[in-house]
Structure 1
Amino acid sequence: MVALEREKMVFLVVTLAIGIHFTATAALEPSVIIVGAGMSGISAGKRLSDAGIKNIVILEATNWIGGRIHKQNFAGLSVEIGANWVEGVHGEQMNPIWEMVNKLNLKTFFSNYDNLSSNTYQQAGGLYKESFAQQAFDVADSLAEFSRNISTSLTASREEDISILASQRLKNLVPSAPIEMAIDYYNYDYEFAEPPRVTSLQNTEPLPTFSNFGEDLYFVADPRGYESVVYYVAKQYLTSNSAGQITDSRVKLNKVVREIRHSQSGVIVKTEDGAVFRADYVMVSASIGVLQTNLINFQPDLPHWKILAMYQFDMGVYTKIFLKFPYKFWPSGNGTEFFLYVHEKRGYYTIWQQLEREYPGANVLLVTVTDDESRRIEQQPDYETKAEIMEVLRNMFGKNVPEATDILIPKWWSNRFYKGTFSNWPIGVSRYEYDQIRVPVGRVYFTGEHTSEHYNGYVHGAYLAGIDSANMLIRCIKTNFCKFPIAAKGT
């Protein structure tokens, strides 16, 4: 009996010792909460995992992985309601997203805008004479080149930034006629989701995306969805099932983060459903639009310099509206994929794309609106938007245009988890202020496409930003070269 009790005691001591060892080992591995399972959050998680920091939890507000890279069923088709293009291809450097797309063998289609002068429609109907339209495009190209030269000159002389519109005024050539505004909208609003009057010249002309990665663009139209690239990154460190779904317990969907408490000893993250998570650090990948709202409450408040920097940056709204028709009534074939509608109101259903190559026989059109038009459309019933679009189409192609059988209008601005589609660099934000958006506050780190040093607004920017932000945290952890100043309320 005594021997048996002695064996039990030895077993208990050994078990306790092992338990203490495991606890001590776990304590040595830093823990990180990642807020958001979009490209940046997933990318940051992979970089942390590669560095040996695997004690992570990813909290995602929605029921999907991918964030603003998201497919949706539309009339039996898989369409992208968010990011749709790989922008920056066939340049000196390889766009990392293009590399992933090719590895996954996703279906992509080269977007050729070269023939727009042959496909520019007047407000009251009918095509502009090609020579007239081409002349307007040539003037716009010359104006864009002038703006790029001004930008280069300002940067070289370290002078203050100006808006794209200001550079056009320097040329004394501000687009004002309807066709000039439509082309100007195509050149700038269609890319940045905001007009030239607010967009920074030095930080958008020339664009590093096209300078570094190439000027070609490819439209992703694959049943698996563009989000496949996010899953491609995720599966390199998160467990998944045979169907390709992420099943890792470290990823928690439908977890809406509402409060982040941070101190020198760690962070506490609370979600809307009452759950509480504790960690050494938190990486926030929410969009700049969300950070400009009160969805996430930081305790203590973020310092004023941080808040001011975040509020100075812009969250654009870019809305791709899909329409399906009983039959095709628009021109098709080479050189007809993109067409412009000229209206006296800037940005009024200006940019059109017929998707015959991407979805053969589906009879689908895509029209893009941005900024104030996007917000206006999100606040009105879909049937009113459809009526406006049908009027535009009948102006272009005649009164016999059939009624659309289906319409899909994404509403990113109204969605409290996004509050827009991607960031735009506005006039007035310096590189120093932009760095303030990126830098951590104590144990709170930030990532997202809006923190990408050169590629804000792009999918590759989101991916690279996740890596960059994770590297900052890794340096802090590995070298212990970091401080945790806690911003007191009111400072």
Structure 2
Amino acid sequence: MVAVGITVPFLLLLPFLFFASADNSSPSIIIVGAGFSGISAAKTLSDAGLKNFIILEGTGRIGGRICKVPFAGIYVEKGANWVEGVNGKQINPIWTMAESLHLRRFYSDYDNLSSNTYKQGGGLYDSPEVSEMIDVADSVNGANEKLSASLPSNGRGDISILAAQRLQNHVPSTPVDMAIDYYNFDYEFAEPPRVTSLQNTEPLPTFANFGEDVYFVADQRGYESVVHHVAHQFLETDKVGTIVDHRLRLNQVVRKITYSATGVAVETEDGGVYKADYVLVSVSLGVLQSKLIEFVPMLPQWKIVAIYEFDMAIYTKIFLKFPSSFWPTGNGTQFFLYASERRGYYTIWQHFEKEYPGANVLLVTVTDDESKRIEQQPDSKTKAEAMEVLREMFGNHIPEATDIFVPRWWSDRLYRGTFSNWPIGVDRYEYDQIRAPVGRVYFTGEHTSEHYNGYVHGAFLSGIDSAKIMINCIKRGLCKYMVKAKD
């Protein structure tokens, strides 16, 4: 259905009316969301000759959960920060982009955590003691990887990482064991081992395929430069590189998608209506679970169940600025652990001696329930808690933090979390369902990435994959998306 005029009575009901640009030579497409998956999908469609689209983005920028923010005189990354999976047998496409853009990025070396683990109440643990605990955890993880490989592919034998640990008679319970466990799992998946799938995370395809190295992006242009790099390849820009393409429409919060056998209508919060032949929804899994967008008719039960079966995790990076540094610097000191009796309580810290020289900034990462708790309290309370932990580690003489930045991804209705996590027992069948089209409604996003959900490269690659599904339908008439039956 190419956009056409509408009757006067309908116009009276809707104060604003917009259409995808009229082009009778190709179908019209609406893309909801200008995060990396939405931009990647739009470029793939454009490269295939399907240029008759508009992108509706709820915020005033592109990039989604890749977002720089000003903090105490520098820019820091509110969301995604690392290129994860480097120096392996395959090349991570995000690494290629980062290299071509000459983004400032720094190797993250976690090898010396045993010498940088602090006690609750003060002082460092003996390095050999912590090193032995890390070796035990690594041995258990190795055994769990073998167990994972032995499980049936249909997912029915899947267990949690915690259950697998119990099978190895290893249940982290001491402060140090819990800190190491938190570093190994929560720091990566943003949820604890008791809810995380063994089968879909051991081994993790990102590191198995792309390599185990990770690099921290600390470029003042922002990690979002990779998104702009892709966008500039198909969207019109002015002389200074600002996107001026009329097909990108910012500050358009989508609230309703009506679909039928002949087309779609997308309604925005300001009363606008966009009509097209197809719609590609690239909002986060958290938004799909939140009912921000109403689908008419309601999505089929199999689709809703697939959406609800996945987890939307919360990963919160808290930045603190100080008048001077008081923490150890030099090789082998960048990352340090606080081993609290309360699992996940301000556990993982990082300084930026090389990344932001002279900035005197620390980063502490919290996840899951701690993230939710912190989002609901004033920043002053969070700063007081963090300062109490730092004083236990470094003494009461340290200066007070002058600035704090606390992201609130869970509270933000346009995201409702940071990235998806594979829960127990969900296999590729449910994955196929979560990205499967419903009529003329298509879906993309990092949560639809077959192997790389939760990662920047997962968002980028999922946009390409979902766009190809749509292209196959539009150009080749292959519109029946096959979901392999569950064994």
Deviation at 1:178, TM superposition (A): 1.1
State the distance in 2 between where 1:431 and 1:50 align: 29
Which amino acid in structure 2 is aligned with residue 317 of structure 1? I
Structure-1 residue corresponding to 2:343: 346
Aligned pairs for 1:394-433 within 5 A = 394-433=391-430
Which amino acid in structure 2 is aligned with residue 179 of structure 1? V
* Counterpart among 324, 327, 351 of residue 327 in structure 1: 324
Q: Tell whether the 8 Å contact from 1:259 to 1:296 is kept in structure 2 after alignment.
A: yes
Given the superposition, is the C-alpha separation of residues 483 and 335 from structure 1 closer, same or farther in structure 2, using an over 3 Å criterion?
Answer: closer
Aligned pairs for 1:290-439 within 5 A = 290-439=287-436
Pairing 1:478–2:475 present:
yes
Q: Tell whether the 8 Å contact from 1:439 to 1:445 is kept in structure 2 after alignment.
A: yes
Q: What is the CA deviation profile of residues 288-345 of structure 1, one whole-angstrom value per residue up to 9, with x for unaligned ones?
A: 0000011000000000010001001000000000001010100000000000000011
Q: What is the CA deviation profile of residues 115-157 of structure 1, one whole-angstrom value per residue up to 9, with x for unaligned ones?
A: 0000000001100011111111111111111111110111479
Deviation at 1:159, TM superposition (A): 5.6
Structure-2 residue corresponding to 1:248: 245
Q: Tell whether the 8 Å contact from 1:317 to 1:422 is kept in structure 2 after alignment.
A: yes
Q: Tell whether the 8 Å contact from 2:156 to 2:425 is kept in structure 1 after alignment.
A: no
Which amino acid in structure 2 is aligned with residue 290 of structure 1? V
State the distance in 1 between where 2:302 and 2:152 align: 25
* Counterpart among 262, 275, 280 of residue 278 in structure 1: 275
* Counterpart among 100, 112, 115 of residue 118 in structure 1: 115
Q: How many residues align?
A: 461
Could you tell me the percent identity over the aligned residues? 69
Which amino acid in structure 1 is aligned with residue 55 of structure 2? I
Deviation at 1:158, TM superposition (A): 7.0
Which amino acid in structure 2 is aligned with residue 227 of structure 1? E
Structure-1 residue corresponding to 2:63: 66
Q: Tell whether the 8 Å contact from 1:442 to 1:483 is kept in structure 2 after alignment.
A: no
Deviation at 1:28, TM superposition (A): 3.5
Q: Tell whether the 8 Å contact from 2:206 to 2:451 is kept in structure 1 after alignment.
A: yes
Structure-2 residue corresponding to 1:454: 451
State the distance in 2 between where 1:93 and 1:142 align: 26
Structure-2 residue corresponding to 1:136: 133
Deviation at 1:27, TM superposition (A): 2.6
Deviation at 1:186, TM superposition (A): 0.2
Deviation at 1:244, TM superposition (A): 1.9
Pairing 1:85–2:89 present:
no
State the distance in 1 between where 2:352 and 2:238 align: 33
State the distance in 2 between where 1:306 and 1:202 align: 22
Which amino acid in structure 2 is aligned with residue 86 of structure 1? V
Given the superposition, is the C-alpha separation of residues 292 and 159 from structure 1 closer, same or farther in structure 2, using an over 3 Å criterion?
Answer: closer
* Counterpart among 182, 186, 189 of residue 186 in structure 2: 189
State the distance in 2 between where 1:124 and 1:144 align: 30
Which amino acid in structure 2 is aligned with residue 287 of structure 1? S
Q: What is the CA deviation profile of residues 369-413 of structure 1, one whole-angstrom value per residue up to 9, with x for unaligned ones?
A: 000000000000110000000000000000111100110001000
Q: Tell whether the 8 Å contact from 1:162 to 1:427 is kept in structure 2 after alignment.
A: yes
Which amino acid in structure 1 is aligned with residue 459 of structure 2? A
State the distance in 1 between where 2:239 and 2:200 align: 44
Which amino acid in structure 1 is aligned with residue 143 of structure 2? F
Which amino acid in structure 2 is aligned with residue 460 of structure 1? H
* Counterpart among 265, 268, 271 of residue 268 in structure 1: 265
Pairing 1:48–2:15 present:
no
3-state DSSP class of the match of 1:27?
coil
CA RMSD of superposed structures (Å): 1.3
Which amino acid in structure 2 is aligned with residue 268 of structure 1? A
Deviation at 1:276, TM superposition (A): 0.5
3-state DSSP class of the match of 1:306?
helix
Q: Which protein has the larger Cα radius of gyration, Structure 1 or Structure 2?
A: 1
Which amino acid in structure 2 is aligned with residue 67 of structure 1? G
Structure-2 residue corresponding to 1:173: 170
Q: Tell whether the 8 Å contact from 2:154 to 2:427 is kept in structure 1 after alignment.
A: no
Q: Tell whether the 8 Å contact from 1:320 to 1:366 is kept in structure 2 after alignment.
A: yes
Given the superposition, is the C-alpha separation of residues 177 and 333 from structure 1 closer, same or farther in structure 2, using an over 3 Å criterion?
Answer: same
Which amino acid in structure 2 is aligned with residue 207 of structure 1? L
State the distance in 2 between where 1:243 and 1:351 align: 39
Q: Tell whether the 8 Å contact from 1:309 to 1:433 is kept in structure 2 after alignment.
A: yes
Query: Structure 2: any 5+ residue segments left out of the alignment?
Result: 1-21, 482-487
